[in-house]
Structure 1
Amino acid sequence: MKFTISALSVLFFTGVFAQNIQNNPGSNHGNRFEQLGTILPTPNVYRTASGAPGQAYWQNRADYDIVAYLDEDKRNLKGSETVTYHNNSPDDLDYIWLQLDENQQSTVKKADYQFSSTLPKSLNDEQVKVSELPVKDNGYGVNLEKVTDASGNPLKYTVNKTMMRIDLPKVLKKGEKFIFKIDWNYNIPNRIKMGGRGGYENFAEDGNDLYTITQWFPRMCVYSDFEGWQNHQFTGRGEFALVFGNYKVSINVPADHVIGGTGECKNYEQVLSSEQLARYKKAQTSNEPVEIVTLDEAKKAEKNHSKQRKTWVFEAKDVRDFAWTASRKFVWDAMGVTIPENNNKVMAMSFYPKEAYGLYRKYSTKAVAHTIKTYSEFTIPYPYPVAQSVEASNGMEYPMICFNFGRTEKDGTYSEGVKNGMIGVIIHEVGHNFFPMIINSDERQWSWMDEGLNTFTEYLTEEKWDNKFPSKRGPAWTIVDYMKLPKDQLEPIMSNSENIIQFGPNAYAKPATGLNILRETIMGRELFDKAFKTYSKRWAFKHPEPADFFRTMEDASGEDLDWFWRGWFYGTDPVDISIDKVTVANPDFEVTASSTEEKYKVEKPLQNEFEDISKIRNKEDKTINFEVEKDKDLQDFYYRYDRGQEKVDTNKEYSLKSEPNAALDKKEQEKFKNINAYQIDFVNKGGLVMPIILEFTFEDGSKLRDRTSAQIWRHNEKKVSKTFYFDKKLKSIQLDPMRETADINTSNNFWNNDGGSSETSKFQVFKEKQKATVRGGANGKVNPMQAAGKKN
């Protein structure tokens, strides 16, 4: 169906800017190099000025025991959980908060963060629906059946959209724990039609579902030293803030389903056939992926829907969440991986339907292994026993398990874009085990702290997968189109997740690019890598905030990076540095052989001409004995001169002659005759300061490069000049030759010595005279003491 738009639409843009305090915003220097100061939170006993956790750092904990039942016919999930919440904070708690993320799928329980909507140009028949006012309940969202304490006594609770508050029967004090139980169920949504991270996908051709069960149980919110309860609503974008704990999860599913989940399965002997169990044990020591559930077995299972049931039992330690997947369609392969840094033995595994077999069988598990090994090099050694990739036609991450895409055409072929996209998303989602599953930042507030840091490390991992890998995020040149956008379409990286318009570039690409610029262009790989590992080690299994990252990167490297955080993370200015003008100068050996004469008068008394209020009061104060009055030996000629007791003619003129500059002899002139001086004037048109990187090409075809740090802009953030002296002539100058700085306009980055694009001048070269270099020494002029004929 088509709709004709008959009314004019007006689109308004409003800029969103993070606080970026400047001492002197009207100045053309200094602002971009100010310390972040009060922009960052004040260090304390919980978070230090170095960026490390403080001596009194604490975090709360939640342990879960969950029993789940998947009703495939009704597409309903039923669960019962026992939660043990540990209060390690110094505060007394009289209520606790939990997340009910599945309520976001409900028409009446969701957070209702809507977007502006306009008349469409066309709609399909399923999209044309009469607006329901008031909105009717679509039947999705969490149904709470029972909320009790450990003894079964009902607890008072309040549900606010996607959040749930439980009022405690008594105050929970420091060091105490509270055990409670929740029974619940919800209808599993069609993830393909309704969107979202979890749900089911139906394969009409064989009548089977593939389940990705995520954010599926009531989960504890974070209570922290920097925010208190993080109980912001879940809107579908900003992800999660979660506490660490231990999990035991029992999942009852149809007997022909294969399950992958967070942690280790503790009863493979009961749920796998003897052949499958033997293959699993073989895979543990195999260097190549071994099919535990084969393609033939998966195809056979698709045709027979078992009415029998099995329970799979998983356990996971020190994780912040639990997710799982189930389907009778799954092929399952695995291989053992050893992490060199800690000798950890890991099972790298993949689950995928036959539709993805042509890609996943070859690449997925090997990409998982490559990811956890490479991230371990750049961050911390992978600490968990399992790492899994599931092909589910999406991309989302959870501890030890993630969901990715990568299906072939029906004939088994695939495009290069699908292949590279699949490898990239597997690396990205598996990489999330480090950011934020272990280095546990608050995703709901600061998406860049997990997505940006992870995208950067993904880029490093892609580079080590294939030097020709077409990474879309990380290299500086790939962010240019985003940085070119009008300011009213941009937000600083330091913006809340829900308020970002260009979410991908802002939360993923720009932070990743910034870190890559720090590593390659500003800090260098050695300094950066050590600092990045320090941050990862400090905040593993803890809750870092932006200031902890900024401060650690500086603390561990000895680099002052406040100018970079201020510009790249708190601002929206782009990089656009231009070569404005080049002045070429040649030596001039002609020297005027005549002396110069300077006329001057002797100095008047240097004491203050005006008696200020402090001097007057000190003079009147009879308790003050001035040192020069007490000790007559301190009263020299100038003591008397300042008080008018010595008379000197200060109007008399004296002459000071200087020796003429000496010309260079022929041999010395020969040494310098080919020197050419080049003054290059740069203009900062974009506003964001960056290092100045130049490539010089000479007329003989040779090249040189020069790198000047960003600090050259500290005295003038708009214009700077730099002069070079070469013993051969320049043919051209290229600014940022490797496109390292994300300069949005490369058309003004080049100068060519074509005779008309530069000014020419001369600079005089003469023989250096001997000069007095003692600070405060004689300067050749007559002083008042000499004029008066006195020596004391």
Structure 2
Amino acid sequence: MRRLLFAGLVLAVAGQAPAIAQTTNSGTDKFAQLETMLPTPNSYRTASGAPGTDYWQQRADYDIKVTLDDAKQALTGRETITYTNLSPDALPYLWVQLDQNIYEKNSIANATQVGQLQDKMTFQAVDGMMSGFDGGFKIESVTGKDGRALHTVTNNTMMRIDLPTPLLPRQAVSFQVKWHYNITDQYKQGGRSGFEYFEADKNYLYEMAQFYPRMAVYSDNQGWQHKQFLGNGEFTLPFGDYKVSITAPADHIVGATGTLQNAAQVLTGTQQKRWEQAKSATKPVLIVSQDEAVKNESSRATGTKTWTFAAKNVRDFAWASSRKFIWDAMQIKQDGKPVMCMSYYPKEGNPLWGQYSTQVVAHTIKTYSKYTIPYAYPVAISVHGPVGGMEYPMLCFNGGRPEKDGTYSQQVKYGMISVIIHEVGHNFFPMIINSDERQWTWMDEGLNSFVQFLTEQEWERNYPSRRGEPRNIAAYMATADNLQSPIMINSESALQFGNNAYGKPATALNILRETVMGRELFDYAFKTYAQRWAYKHPTPADLFRTMEDASAVDLDWFWRGWFYTTEHTDIALESVKSYNASTRNPQVENARLQQQKAAAPQSITAQRNATDIPKTLVDEKPELKDFYNNYDPLAVTPADQQRYTAMLGTLTPEQQQRLGDSQSNFYELSLRNVGGLVMPVIVQMTFADNTQEIQTIPAEIWRKNNAQVTKVIVTKKPVISFVIDPFQQTADTDLSNNAFPRQPAASRFELFEQQRPQAQPNPMQQLKATASPMQKLEQKPVGSGQ
């Protein structure tokens, strides 16, 4: 422990003397502003992050008719697209997305797939390599309103339609497309839609999306967004109104984006009555029960039914169809508007789906509306089928299936709840706040994963969220740079896609909320972004600028580090120096030094000399002693006391009181930024009386030296330990250098016999195996009856 002359210490702390202040900047200035990297503000997109006075976006309206062939697993369709040019540009051609073409044998996606052969491979993997599946859109015709064929050019997943005359600003054009295609088998071809075949009852369940040629986006910031669909970068689409008629087998139940227009023609009287009951129910009402769905599985009714749906101001449309569907619904009010929350699922989904799905849908709509904007669509639907998780306006596909005996693991339960929250949440990002998924996956997946985390935590205390907590992303951020990509990278080029586009941006936003900005500032700014860009096309710059504009927090350092680099958080507490202020009183200070001297350990040499050298020469010859053999340098002399009294006479009463205060403790913390990512420094101090205090030092502590700084902390009580980031809220990748004195990292190892692991029954199965016959009779799956 060191003592400092009090007056000198006051000057150093208050004036930031050169001994403490460090102005050397190592490498790139991490606090440089982002303006040179962001697009120049203009009348379309302002410097504040808001849409400008001249902001515009295109519109596409659809009238679609499709027929499902349940015998051949094929779809035929025709559509009329009305495209309105609200840009200031004349358009000589239009671009249409043909996303089903990813399944063509010669598609870019297939040609660029990489992989390796293994010594042992599954039949499914080999089937995928050898598949002779005839996929992709088969475009039969593209004609104008007058029925004449339009010239088209197809480039993989994009089709250019050449117009007879350029489409001028404020004009609209209508054209018709006829097509058909073979529906993908989800378990063979994969993808975001397709069918599942149930061998036991010889039935199919269809989840249909990207099923029609769709308009690409033409925008102020990049013109046509016609990057090829390769599998990861999802879909960028304009808003419009939809009318969709779906012809399916007469015994199928169909759910879709939008509201059903012809309920009297396709629903039974009982189903319509139950629908009305659902409008005032406090828990889901079964429109089609499990018993009815099981009976329907073997019906094989002849003929077809056509279900017609309408949706306003949406960017896409999806639907599902099967004779296996159980269907439940419950209406909630969101900001005074009714929202019908619904689920469609086969009996294989129970008891999980009947118990949880629609309740999760309702909870998601309420929670997301609180953090973003009020949900304004009339329905929100969750469908269980072969697609593990995929989102569309008002409807999403979700996985999570219990065992055949109805039991399920904790992982399956929470996995199902999380995927429903995530996919329903996509109604907000990007279905309403309509970012460019083809370019920036993180703008929909990352933002959505963040609000998913908030929603999970409001579902259940200590919900086991997979993404959002900083400690969960630390291992990824600690991986080598060549195994990572910056968040700001094209969707198709990202490495470790889930961590890059989902986990890291979700964690970054959580850190902004909890550690950098605080909840009040963050929540207001984030809601402002959602309000500004609802039903519009935001870019990353619009988000970055809005978050700063609405909070008065300079976040350029944060966006730069977290989104533009692969740096990680590793702040090391290298050393702590302890000081106490000197009182300058010789009586006090000399007594303290005498105590230190008495308490100092005797050197090993002195200890051994006490035995090996019985007498020194001076001991044997006392005449060799002089004044200094009896002199005590720590003894207080009258001269010392006189100097002290004279010094006091030069000080004010306030300075005298401060000088006499020997209770303050001064600590100099040496901090090193090992990981390169500048972050706030959270310091937990444990005092000698075992109480604790936390100080949060803003990230700007690194602004003059990005690599190493020292920080002086003054306390009234002596500190026995310092810990950096005690609650692991900055995603620090190395906790071993966070404490002083050093603390061993908590870990353990487990001994085991080398053997092949065997599948263990889940806890529900174990309990079921030991249940009494009466208990087994009492068990009844949720959703089995009305």
Asked if TM exceeds 0.5, the reply is: yes
Runs of 4+ in 1 over 6 A off after TM superposition: 129-132, 663-667
In 2, the alpha carbon distance for the partners of 1:746 and 1:59 equals: 49
Letter paired with 2:522: F
In 1, the alpha carbon distance for the partners of 2:76 and 2:741 equals: 72
- 2:476 aligned partner: 482
The DSSP-based 3-state class of the residue aligned with 1:123 is coil
Show CA shifts across 1:736-778 (max 9, x none).
1111100000111111399xxxxxxxxxxxxxxxxxxxxxxxx
In 2, the alpha carbon distance for the partners of 1:180 and 1:33 equals: 52
In 1, the alpha carbon distance for the partners of 2:494 and 2:565 equals: 14
Show CA shifts across 1:620-667 (max 9, x none).
xxxxxxxxxxxxxxxxxxxxxxxxxxxxxxxxxxxxxxx967688999
- Which residue among 475, 493, 500 is the counterpart of 1:499? 493
- Which residue among 423, 433, 441 is the counterpart of 1:439? 433
TM-score when normalising by structure 1 = 0.81
The DSSP-based 3-state class of the residue aligned with 1:460 is helix
Letter paired with 2:563: F
**Structure 1 pair 425–131 and aligned structure 2 pair: CA distance change class (3 A):** closer
- Which residue among 128, 136, 139 is the counterpart of 1:141? 136
* Residues 517 and 741 in structure 1, CA contact (< 8 A), matched pair in contact too: yes
- 1:64 aligned partner: 62
* Residues 583 and 661 in structure 2, CA contact (< 8 A), matched pair in contact too: no
Verify: 1:462 aligned to 2:421, yes or no.
Answer: no
Verify: 1:408 aligned to 2:439, yes or no.
Answer: no
- 2:703 aligned partner: 714
* Residues 101 and 234 in structure 1, CA contact (< 8 A), matched pair in contact too: yes
Verify: 1:53 aligned to 2:51, yes or no.
Answer: yes
- 1:580 aligned partner: 574
TM-score when normalising by structure 2 = 0.82
* Residues 591 and 661 in structure 1, CA contact (< 8 A), matched pair in contact too: no
Letter paired with 2:664: I
Letter paired with 1:674: Q
In 1, the alpha carbon distance for the partners of 2:513 and 2:658 equals: 45
- Which residue among 197, 201, 223 is the counterpart of 2:196? 201
Verify: 1:165 aligned to 2:160, yes or no.
Answer: yes
Letter paired with 1:522: V
Letter paired with 1:53: P
In 2, the alpha carbon distance for the partners of 1:730 and 1:229 equals: 62
- Which residue among 374, 393, 396 is the counterpart of 1:381? 374
Show CA shifts across 1:515-561 (max 9, x none).
00000000000100000010000000000000000000000111110
Q: Aligned runs of 1:315-330 on 2, under 5 Å?
A: 315-330=310-325
Letter paired with 2:263: Y
Q: CA deviation at 1:669?
A: 7.6
Verify: 1:395 aligned to 2:389, yes or no.
Answer: yes
Verify: 1:539 aligned to 2:533, yes or no.
Answer: yes
Verify: 1:556 aligned to 2:550, yes or no.
Answer: yes
In 1, the alpha carbon distance for the partners of 2:123 and 2:488 equals: 41
The DSSP-based 3-state class of the residue aligned with 2:274 is helix
The DSSP-based 3-state class of the residue aligned with 2:36 is helix
* Residues 591 and 662 in structure 1, CA contact (< 8 A), matched pair in contact too: no
- 1:23 aligned partner: none
In 2, the alpha carbon distance for the partners of 1:113 and 1:41 equals: 34
In 1, the alpha carbon distance for the partners of 2:271 and 2:716 equals: 74
The DSSP-based 3-state class of the residue aligned with 1:36 is coil
Verify: 1:371 aligned to 2:369, yes or no.
Answer: no
- Which residue among 25, 30, 33 is the counterpart of 2:31? 33
**Structure 1 pair 131–698 and aligned structure 2 pair: CA distance change class (3 A):** closer
- Which residue among 255, 270, 274 is the counterpart of 1:275? 270
- 1:784 aligned partner: none
* Residues 25 and 704 in structure 2, CA contact (< 8 A), matched pair in contact too: no
In 1, the alpha carbon distance for the partners of 2:657 and 2:464 equals: 55
- Which residue among 687, 712, 726 is the counterpart of 1:723? 712
- 2:761 aligned partner: none
Identity over the aligned pairs, expressed in percent? Answer: 52
* Residues 111 and 161 in structure 1, CA contact (< 8 A), matched pair in contact too: no
In 1, the alpha carbon distance for the partners of 2:444 and 2:129 equals: 38
Q: CA deviation at 1:28?
A: 1.3
- 2:667 aligned partner: 678
The DSSP-based 3-state class of the residue aligned with 1:39 is coil
**Structure 1 pair 31–462 and aligned structure 2 pair: CA distance change class (3 A):** same
**Structure 1 pair 571–113 and aligned structure 2 pair: CA distance change class (3 A):** farther
Verify: 1:748 aligned to 2:748, yes or no.
Answer: no
Q: CA deviation at 1:59?
A: 0.4
- Which residue among 72, 75, 79 is the counterpart of 2:73? 75
* Residues 128 and 188 in structure 2, CA contact (< 8 A), matched pair in contact too: no
In 1, the alpha carbon distance for the partners of 2:344 and 2:275 equals: 13
In 1, the alpha carbon distance for the partners of 2:350 and 2:512 equals: 40
- Which residue among 259, 268, 280 is the counterpart of 1:264? 259
The DSSP-based 3-state class of the residue aligned with 1:402 is strand
**Structure 1 pair 448–126 and aligned structure 2 pair: CA distance change class (3 A):** closer
In 2, the alpha carbon distance for the partners of 1:445 and 1:410 equals: 41
* Residues 250 and 311 in structure 1, CA contact (< 8 A), matched pair in contact too: yes
**Structure 1 pair 165–662 and aligned structure 2 pair: CA distance change class (3 A):** farther
In 1, the alpha carbon distance for the partners of 2:648 and 2:179 equals: 94
Verify: 1:521 aligned to 2:511, yes or no.
Answer: no
In 2, the alpha carbon distance for the partners of 1:525 and 1:147 equals: 52
Letter paired with 2:364: T
Letter paired with 1:584: S
Letter paired with 2:543: F
- 1:694 aligned partner: 683
The DSSP-based 3-state class of the residue aligned with 2:350 is helix
In 1, the alpha carbon distance for the partners of 2:165 and 2:369 equals: 44
In 2, the alpha carbon distance for the partners of 1:91 and 1:563 equals: 37
In 1, the alpha carbon distance for the partners of 2:64 and 2:189 equals: 27
**Structure 1 pair 680–297 and aligned structure 2 pair: CA distance change class (3 A):** same
* Residues 30 and 714 in structure 1, CA contact (< 8 A), matched pair in contact too: no
5+ long unaligned stretches in structure 2:
1-23, 587-645, 744-786
Letter paired with 2:288: V
In 2, the alpha carbon distance for the partners of 1:125 and 1:331 equals: 32
Letter paired with 1:97: W
Show CA shifts across 1:397-452 (max 9, x none).
00000000121111111111100000000000000000000000000100000000
- Which residue among 418, 424, 427 is the counterpart of 1:424? 418
In 1, the alpha carbon distance for the partners of 2:162 and 2:113 equals: 34
Show CA shifts across 1:369-423 (max 9, x none).
0000100000000010000000114100000000001211111111111000000
- 1:98 aligned partner: 96
**Structure 1 pair 338–131 and aligned structure 2 pair: CA distance change class (3 A):** closer
Q: CA deviation at 1:29?
A: 6.8
Show CA shifts across 1:8-46 (max 9, x none).
xxxxxxxxxxxxxxxxxx941771000002100001111
Q: CA deviation at 1:284?
A: 1.1
Verify: 1:85 aligned to 2:83, yes or no.
Answer: yes
- 2:724 aligned partner: 735
Q: CA deviation at 1:143?
A: 0.5
- 1:508 aligned partner: 502
Letter paired with 1:374: T
* Residues 584 and 659 in structure 2, CA contact (< 8 A), matched pair in contact too: no
- Which residue among 282, 285, 289 is the counterpart of 1:290? 285
* Residues 348 and 369 in structure 1, CA contact (< 8 A), matched pair in contact too: yes
In 2, the alpha carbon distance for the partners of 1:436 and 1:129 equals: 34
* Residues 142 and 178 in structure 2, CA contact (< 8 A), matched pair in contact too: yes
Letter paired with 2:122: N
* Residues 576 and 668 in structure 2, CA contact (< 8 A), matched pair in contact too: yes
The DSSP-based 3-state class of the residue aligned with 2:63 is strand
> Which structure carries more relative contact order (alpha carbon 8 Å, separation 6+)?
2
The DSSP-based 3-state class of the residue aligned with 1:372 is helix
Show CA shifts across 1:174-215 (max 9, x none).
000000000100011101111101110001111101101100
In 1, the alpha carbon distance for the partners of 2:363 and 2:531 equals: 21
The DSSP-based 3-state class of the residue aligned with 1:31 is coil
**What's the C-alpha RMSD, in Å, of the aligned pairs?**
2.0
The DSSP-based 3-state class of the residue aligned with 1:192 is coil
**Structure 1 pair 130–566 and aligned structure 2 pair: CA distance change class (3 A):** closer
- 1:150 aligned partner: 145
In 1, the alpha carbon distance for the partners of 2:371 and 2:151 equals: 47
